[in-house]
Chain A
Amino acid sequence: MIKLSDICYTYMSDGPFEKAAVKNVNLTLNSGEFIGLMGHTGSGKSTLIQMIAGIVKPTSGKIAIDGQELYAKNCDMRKMRFKTGLVMQYPEYQLFEETVFKDIAFGPSNMGLSEDEIKRRVFFAANLVGIGDELLEKSPFELSGGQKRRVAIAGVLAMEPEILILDEPTAGLDPAGRDEILCKIKDMHQRLGITVILVSHSMEDLANLTDRIVVMNHGELAMFDKTAEIFKHSEELKRIGLSVPQITEVCSRLSEAGFPIAEGIYTVEMARAEIERILKSEKS
């Protein structure tokens, strides 16, 4: 369980460029949940998740992960960071090793694992993000942009964190690659029961994957609810520069046009089931 109480963060405090990026956020996220995080650019999403990952210390407020308060005297921050895996926004720049294999192994070897275990994890993670074995001995700087991104993500997945945090992991990837990576992450979430926090601007991805969604607006927590509930507030979302999945838009237009379609539909599958149900009942 992740519990944030009254979290604030200010960049460049007491200067002319002071910027309150996160203001008084209170949140409780359960273990094993798939959480979505959305908000306009500059709403404080990245700052918030960096605080959860124990990379950035909140200016004020407390964060507790599974009951352990971060930055408390008895808290081993390094150990806590192994529990949370953070894939930063545009993580390509974190690559530095001679080979892809060594780069993915950087995290696991910092954890002090055995050679065999490191090897197993590197192959597991590389496979998960679709990096073939033939690429493992190449230099990471020879790869294409998309491949670099995958290697960077694999570097975090190989640490097998209990809480996986992804900051816009698919921004700038091709659609096929995007779906593939997200699908693998969903799969990992279900199989291993890990908690996932996904920052994304794609309403479709959030609708398809998440259990609950956190909405940020100008550094404040705007909404936090079940995915279905969030997408019922299309007006409010639009006001803060966000939107609803296209299929939700389609359904509300249908409803306006007099088609008796139910509210709260946010995935294509749901819409198809609902339309089939209506068509069937109209026939009989």
Chain B
Amino acid sequence: MLKDITLGQYFPGKSFIHNLDPRTKILCIVIYITVIFLIKSFLGYAALAIFTALCVFSSKIPVKFVLRGLKPIMMFVAITALFNLFLTNGRVAWQWGFLTITYEGITLAIFMVLRLFFLVLGTSLLTLTTSPIALTDGIENLLSPLKRIGVPAHELAMMMTIALRFVPTLLEETDKIIKAQTARGADFESGNLISRAKAMIPILIPLFISAFRRADDLAVAMECRCYRGGENRTRLRALKMSYRDGFGFGAIILFTAIIILTNILSGRLGLV
């Protein structure tokens, strides 16, 4: 299960999407997410699916790898869908005891599932094609106008870099601890909910201890090198926009226009 977590996992490559400026990608993903919540019809979702598929293909990352990011959220998606299915008011489609499903509920549940899927697909595509360093550089740069009103942009970006940097490390550590405790006969699979929760203790305690130790070591190491904030720091890789980013913005604007068009169209034709 651990290996399904693709969050913060970078898939190196040289595709068009990989080479976009991280700022472009972040802005595009913000637009993309906003657009997802604007879509009102299945026609719009079809357009969204085509656009997302084009992005995935042009990133040259194996589709299987991108889809793997969906696995950990399956449970969450299922619960959300059920809530929408049973708790939406409207025309009754099916009834059994106190359980009612409405036509509106069915549509809403499908929309919700699609939204969550595309949300995760879009964001995994961002982290898969952007190295953590580039990502945080981009965020810092985009947030830097806010420095004037006292937003600690550099510190926030630094914290994010460190957090992202330690995701794989902690996963590896968890894997090792699980192995060691399994070898000592720890049982994570059987028993009721409480005994299963208890079975996590031998994993969580060593994990926390090692995370604190790592944080401490890192703080000492940074202090030893006289690290201090963002003022006057220069970068090894300065961010630079190119003609590609023009294409990127063009594509996302075209996409937004198409979605708005589908909304108008489906409104005229009375489609859902």
- A-to-B contact residues, CB < 8 Å: 12, 14-16, 50, 53, 55-56, 78, 81-82, 84-86, 88, 91, 93-96, 106-107, 110-111, 141, 155-156, 159
Contact = CB atoms under 8 A, between A and B. Distances in A.
Contact of B186 (A16, A53, A86, A110): A110
Contacts of B182: 55, 81
Given A55-B179, A56-B179, A88-B179, A94 B184 contact: yes
Contacts of A82: 185
B206 A93 contact: yes
Given A12-B3, A106-B202, A91 B180 contact: yes
Interface in B59-98: 62, 64-65
The 4 A-B residue pairs with the shortest CB-CB distance, nearest first, are A110-B185, A94-B180, A96-B205, A86-B183
Q: Interface SS of chain B: helix, strand, loop or mixed?
A: helix
Given A86-B180, A159-B185, 15 more contacts: A16-B12, A50-B179, A55-B182, A81-B182, A86-B183, A91-B180, A93-B173, A93-B180, A93-B206, A94-B177, A96-B202, A106-B186, A110-B184, A110-B186, A111-B185
Given A15-B65, A16-B12, A94-B181, A88 B176 contact: yes
B105 to A, nearest CB: 38
B192 to A, nearest CB: 17
Nearest to B202: A96
Nearest to A86: B183
Interface residues of B, number: 24
Contacts, number: 64
B15 interface: no
A88 B186 contact: no
Contact of A107 (B62, B65, B185): B185
B11 interface: yes
B249 to A, nearest CB: 28
A120 to B, nearest CB: 18
24 contacts: A14-B62, A14-B65, A50-B179, A78-B185, A81-B183, A81-B185, A84-B183, A85-B183, A86-B183, A91-B180, A93-B180, A93-B210, A94-B181, A96-B205, A96-B206, A106-B184, A106-B185, A106-B202, A110-B184, A110-B186, A110-B187, A141-B209, A156-B184, A159-B184
Interface in B230-248: none
Nearest to A15: B65
Contacts of B185: 78, 81-82, 106-107, 110-111, 159
Contacts of B149: none
Nearest to B65: A15
Given A12-B3, A16-B11, A16-B12, A94 B64 contact: no
Contacts of B269: none
Nearest to B201: A96
A47 to B, nearest CB: 11
A95 B206 contact: yes
Nearest to A11: B3
B179 A155 contact: no
A93 B176 CA distance: 9
Contacts of A96: 201-202, 205-206
A106 B209 CA distance: 18
Contacts of B181: 94
A155 B206 CA distance: 15
Greatest chain B CB density within 10 A among A56, A96, A107 is at A96
Interface in B157-192: 173, 176-177, 179-187
A81 B179 CA distance: 11
A78 B210 CA distance: 27
Contacts of A155: 184
Nearest to B3: A12
A243 B119 CA distance: 55
A155 B11 CA distance: 39
A155 B65 CA distance: 39
Contacts of A84: 183
A96 B200 CA distance: 11
